[in-house]
Amino acid sequence: MIALQALYEVDSVHHDPTTVLEARLSEKPLPPEGEAFARALLNGVLAHLPQLDEMIHAYAPEWPLEQMAIIDRNILRMAIYEFAINGETPIKVAINEAVELAKIFGSDSSRRFVNGVLGTLANQITLSRPHSHKATSQSKNRRS
């Protein structure tokens, strides 16, 4: 949640990301692993911003980024970074977390919008990697 708040502030008023994150962490300290995750997520999203925005545009072409709600745009950026670029978060987990954030921080339609964009992207990723699930299942069976 802190990473989302920091992204929102950086996106809306263009404050320095490091300063913003430090301010959020001083308001609500996190355990070391939570702080490390928030830093990595913020830095990862910002480092891949052009790529993330291209992906959002590709899967929500009728919604120009500059017309999209700032909170929705940043929820999408975080989730896409987590499952499509970083790859450490399972797709379903990232989507569920994004939908929950949209329920809390977004408008009445944010949940459906975020779920739709991420679901479409997730389906495309799944189709482009048809053997990844099968290979994972086979390797698990071999270890048993």
Residue 48 lies in a domain: yes
Residue 46 lies in a domain: yes
pTM of the predicted structure, to 2 decimals: 0.86
93 is written with which tokens? 């987990």
Task: Kindly provide the b/e burial profile for residues 70-84, where b requires at least 16 CB atoms within 10 angstroms of the residue's own CB.
Answer: ebbbbbbbbbbbbbb
Residue 55 lies in a domain: yes
How far apart are the C-alpha atoms of 59 and 115, rounded to whole Å?
Answer: 11
Asked whether the beta carbons of 82 and 89 are under 8 A apart, the reply is: yes
Residue 29 lies in a domain: no
CATH number of the domain encompassing residue 62:
1.10.940.10
pLDDT digits (tens, 9 = 90+) for 52-94: 999 999 999 999 999 999 999 999 999 999 999 999 999 999 9
Q: Which residue has the tokens 């086979």?
A: 138
Q: How many domains does the chain have?
A: 1
Q: Which domain holds residue 110?
A: 40-130
Residue 60 lies in a domain: yes
Task: Kindly provide the b/e burial profile for residues 89-117, where b requires at least 16 CB atoms within 10 angstroms of the residue's own CB.
Answer: bebeebbebbbebbeebbeeebbebbeeb
pLDDT at 137 over 80: no
